[in-house]
Amino acid sequence: MVIDSKKIRELEEKARQVRLMIVEMLARAGSGHPGGSLSSTDILTALYFSVMRHRPGDPDWPDRDRFHLSKGHCCPALYAVLALQGYFPKEELSRLRKLGSILQGHPDRHTPGIDVCSGSLGQGLSVALGMSLAGRVDGKDYRTYCLLGDGEIQEGNVWEAAMAAAHYRCDSLCAILDYNGFQIDGRVADIMNIEPLAEKWRGFGWHVFAVDGHNMAALIRSFEAAKKVKEMPSIIIAKTIKGKGVSFMENVVDFHGRAPKKDETELAIRELSP
């Protein structure tokens, strides 16, 4: 598949804006999860600005592609993408994690564009499987996307869903693993090893793509290739960098779940500004 390089540059520019919005949003909120939000930014940008069929003005459009953020703590990235797309006014981002806000600390149905709550890890792949199966019952051709964290797949529920999705030959289901290598307590490999990853998913009956999760062209190629996979679900294992785009956050586990302080925020904004 040939991808227009101008389109790629546009997407990269969107991703830069999203990262900036994440830093500003978290700094104002005073808490939240920058590391995984920044590692998943390019994936979400590719999905919402290129891959998915959706209508921001009509979030309940029955034929829309579904997206479910199973790693709910990375919702700042999703909120920024939804706001840029016009699902709700950008001003709402300044109310993240505040009392009465439509932008809760973890995804909630009060946010236009979010179909099912998440935040408790391990349940989202099942939710996405349900969306995919409902589409089959209704004879619809929408696709369902689900973003998983690497630490998250230590949850047993994920593998129940993986087994069921392959059993039901859900080729409209595409999972993405944000493989940034860190979880709250440290390196995934040290806390609870999840390797060999590709072999595990293949063993469960999935078609596996491995990709650099910050290479926009490669991401889009994988998503488009996954659309052509038949009779089995797909997973895109996206190798990412936790905190990607802010030099002092990259691969620093401390930024899994803490907001930047004032001086850190200023530095991060400078790095992310054009």
Q: Could you list the residues that contact another protein (CB under 8 A)? A: 62, 66, 68, 108-109, 115-120, 123-124, 126-135, 137-138, 156-157, 160-161, 163-164, 167-168
The sign of the CA dihedral 11, 14, 20, 26 is: negative
Q: How far is the CB of 189 from another protein (least distance, A)?
A: 26
Q: How far is the CB of 176 from another protein (least distance, A)?
A: 17
Q: How far is the CB of 14 from another protein (least distance, A)?
A: 27
Nearer of residues 161 and 211 to another protein, judged by Cβ: 161
Nearer of residues 139 and 274 to another protein, judged by Cβ: 139
Please say whether the beta carbons of 88 and 82 come within 8 A. yes
Nearer of residues 233 and 245 to another protein, judged by Cβ: 233
Tokens of 68: 């479910």
Q: Residue 27 belongs to what H/E stretch?
A: helix 5-29
Q: How far is the CB of 126 from another protein (least distance, A)?
A: 3
Q: At what angle do helices 5-29 and 262-272 cross, to 10 degrees?
A: 170
The C-alpha angle 147, 149, 151, rounded to 5 degrees, equals 160
| 142 Cβ contact partners less than 8 Å away, ≥ 6 residues apart | 53, 63, 64, 65, 66, 135, 172
Q: How far is the CB of 162 from another protein (least distance, A)?
A: 9
Nearer of residues 38 and 78 to another protein, judged by Cβ: 78
Q: How far is the CB of 157 from another protein (least distance, A)?
A: 4
Please say whether the beta carbons of 39 and 180 come within 8 A. yes
Nearer of residues 63 and 224 to another protein, judged by Cβ: 63
Tokens of 227: 């659309």
Please say whether the beta carbons of 222 and 1 come within 8 A. no
Nearer of residues 134 and 189 to another protein, judged by Cβ: 134
CA-wise closest residue to 231 among 122, 161, 136, 139? 136
